[in-house]
Amino acid sequence: MEIQVMKNILGENDKIADENIKLFAEKKVFVLNLMGSPGAGKTSLLEKTIAKLKDKIKIAVIEGDLFTDKDAARVEKYGVEVVQINTVGGCHLDAAMVAKVAAKLDLDALDLLIVENVGNLVCPAEFRVGEDERAVVLSITEGDDKPLKYPLIFKESAVALLNKIDLLKFCNFDLESAKSDITALNPTVKIIECSCTQEKGLDEWRDYLYKVVKEKTEA
């Protein structure tokens, strides 16, 4: 039965995710699962994050992509280790994929491992990879109805980044309505309005990330 199969897949994934969590706890590596639709600005956010934080904390990146290594090539330019996972059509990363990569990384030398998930507002939220926190990037060009239409990813994220606010005047995106929908889904979520191209809101994000990484690595 289809329902049973899905339950088994998720159950098996959860077991591996729990093993990953144990490993990342032993090694004191903070893992961020960065999610969002295709083109929302995940890699742009990574570039801006790494550029400012890489001298303060040791960062590596796992890039999830269907077929290409385009994002990995962008991130590598910032001088951090990047490992590409191609899902060959798969719509999300899973815990086993991350475990395989983690086994090859020098985790003792890392503070932060950022996993850029496959661009998708649905499937990645179903599969834990062993992360400490999730963050979702929503571009305002996607529409203010998206939080309620795709609730799980917003419910499960510690941070929701509303990106491309430089385009606000061109889009009929109701910022207050989107923010109140996100908060209704997830009362503890931190909402950050940002623009990766115009360097807005990014310090708030970087300060937050730095703080949660340090809380784990210095515990």
Residue 170 contacts ligand GTP per CB under 6 A:
no
Q: Is residue 163 involved in binding ligand GTP (CB under 6 A)?
A: yes
**Phi and psi (nearest 5°) for 139?**
-80, 140
**Residue 158 interface partner, choices ligand GTP, Mg ion, none, CB cut-off 5-8 Å depending on type:** none
CB closer to ligand GTP, 40 vs 112:
40
Q: Which is nearer to ligand GTP, 20 or 43 (CB)?
A: 43
Which residue number has the CB closest to Mg ion? 43
Contact call for residue 167 and ligand GTP (CB under 6 A): yes
Q: What is the size of the binding site for ligand GTP (CB under 6 A)?
A: 17
Whole-angstrom distance, CA of residue 119 vs CA of residue 183:
23
Q: Is 70 helix (H, G, I), strand (E, B) or coil?
A: helix
Closer to Mg ion at the Cβ: 32 or 185? Answer: 32
124 binds ligand GTP (CB under 6 A): no
Binding of Mg ion by 164 (CB under 5 A):
no
- Alpha carbons 149 and 79: distance in angstroms, whole number: 38
- Work out whether 43 is an interface residue with Mg ion (CB under 5 A): yes
Shortest spacing between CB 42 and Mg ion, in angstroms: 5
Q: Could you tell me where the beta strands, DSSP code E, fall in the chain?
A: 30-36, 59-65, 81-86, 112-116, 133-139, 159-163, 190-193
Give the distance, in angstroms, between the CA of residue 95 and the centroid of all CA atoms in the same chain. Answer: 14
Contact (CB, 8 A) for 97 and 67: no
Q: In whole angstroms, what is the distance from residue 148 CA to residue 155 CA?
A: 10
CB closer to ligand GTP out of 169 and 211: 169
Given candidates 61, 71, 95, 131, which one binds Mg ion under the rule CB under 5 A? 71
N- to C-terminal Cα distance for the chain? Answer: 45
Binding residues (CB under 6 A) for ligand GTP: these are 36, 38-44, 71, 119, 163-164, 166-167, 195-197
